[in-house]
Amino acid sequence: MKILAVDDEPLFCEVLVAELQNLGQSDVHVVYSAADALKQVISETKPFDCVLLDIDMPEMTGIDLCSLLRKTPQTSDVPIIMVTSRSELDSVDKAFAAGATDYLVKPLDSRELQGRMTMAVSITRERIARKQAAANSNQGTVFSFEEACRLDIEHSCLDYLAMQNYVLKLNSMQMFTQSAVGFRVENARELFQILTGADFKGVMADVAEIIIEAIRSETSIIAYAGSGRFVAVTGRYPDIDMETFADQIEQKLVTLNQWYAELGQLPVRLDVGQPVNRSLISLESPADVLEKAIENTYQPMFKVGGQPDTLRLGRGG
Amino acid sequence: MQSNIRKPGNRSRLSDTLLAIRAKFVGSVDERLSVLAGAVAILGENPHEAEALGHLRRECHRIAGIAGSIGLHEEGALAAEIDGAIKSDPANWPVIKPMLEDLITRLADLQK
């Protein structure tokens, strides 16, 4: 696996390289600034498979660099792991919102690094297999209905694996007190069968934007879980007013569906699940909270989409 | 793609590597002390001097990042505490100063 490590402390880079070599990763390239990282990413003929980023660097922070790397084709879908002394919730939130896949806190723990690299190797294998399949089929990107891909929206949208890592990180900091809300495009399969893969992803990105705009919270994050399903994690206090929230989604979805109608495209019908709250003493794992939020969409609290059969099911489904 | 299986014997080689990096860190202490002492001198005169606080915080942050990873846990934790103290209240020089003096002493002791 070809790895780029970015940290302005050369001795820490040496530690990182040594630890990675111990894990069998010897193709490690080191740079000491965000600007050099961008140059390196763009100039390499063979793209990097994984990027490790410090946060506090002069001139450009690792969080800003992470955002830029997500907009750069060579690194848009590679694992980006923050390796930082910053352990505050604010930094964790911003890093994941900027597109980080995972977050490691210094001092470096070799077992934690090993876990992250195992994840990165697995993502890289899947990515290579997808590209290979696309090349063999001559169809460009191969995209399955179930694939929990990363959606191309401006802010606060993670891939599902990163969302799982985010809630696990919050949990390890004893900070996971957020609400998780699930959403499901009820006619997603129908849309998938009609549209091209890229167009289907575009529709899912439109829906994600509508949801994140309706939540109207800077720290809210959404992930696409595949099969037309989403999960959003948002601050628990104050409680989400689900009635108002559903109204806002409804309004935005009506506008979106009018535009789709002009394009001759099917409207989107969206089911909204009951929120799942988790207390600090809960025995439920953070990943289970996400799954439960998605499950709740199958007995939705609200059905929205500006259709004649739009329903308000109220609390309890 | 490379295997991520840990090979027997790699751990001891890594320990040697970490010891070598730690020796380099100790070799860099003079330079780091000079940054810290320079900031102390300026902040002693004017505790609100933003540039000196910035240099101080930056150096402490860098020490916090590396020290714990090469076995200098107390020095790393102390540097992180100073970094955090400056971030939360840059004007709190009476709290920052004794911690900084402790860090300077500990770093200087590494060279003995």
Structure confidence by residue, pLDDT tens digits, B15-60 = 888 999 999 999 999 999 999 999 989 988 888 888 899 999 999 9
Q: Which residue is listed with tokens 């590494």? A: B110
Rounded to an integer, the average pLDDT of A142-146 is 82
Say if residues A294 and A224 touch (Cβ distance below 8 Å): no
Crossing angle between the packed helical segments B50-67 and B93-110, to the nearest 10 degrees: 50
Suggest the residue from A12, A53, A108 to mutate for an interface test with chain B (most B CBs closer than 10 A): A12
Is the backbone peptide bond immediately before A107 cis, with ω within 30 degrees of 0? Answer: yes
Nearest residue in A to B73, CA atom: A107
Strand A80-84 to A50-53 pairing:
parallel
Instruction: Establish if A118 touches chain B: CB-CB under 8 angstroms.
Output: yes
State residue A238's pLDDT score: 58
Distance CA B7, CA B4 (A): 9
**Interchain CB distance below 8 Å, A107 and B67:** yes
Residues 6+ apart with CB under 8 A from A270: A183, A184, A185, A186, A207, A249, A253, A303, A304, A305
Put simply, the chain B residues between 72 and 111 with a CB less than 8 A from any chain A CB are 73, 76, 80, 83
Is the backbone peptide bond immediately before A238 cis, with ω within 30 degrees of 0? Answer: yes
State residue A309's pLDDT score: 46
- Record the pTM: 0.83
Residue A301 CB coordination number (10 Å): 23
- Does residue B59 sit in helix, strand or coil? helix
State residue A176's pLDDT score: 66
Distance CA A16, CA A113 (A): 9
Q: Give tens-digit pLDDT for A207-234.
A: 999 998 888 766 688 999 999 999 998 8
**Interchain CB distance below 8 Å, B28 and A118:** no
**Interchain CB distance below 8 Å, A24 and B1:** no
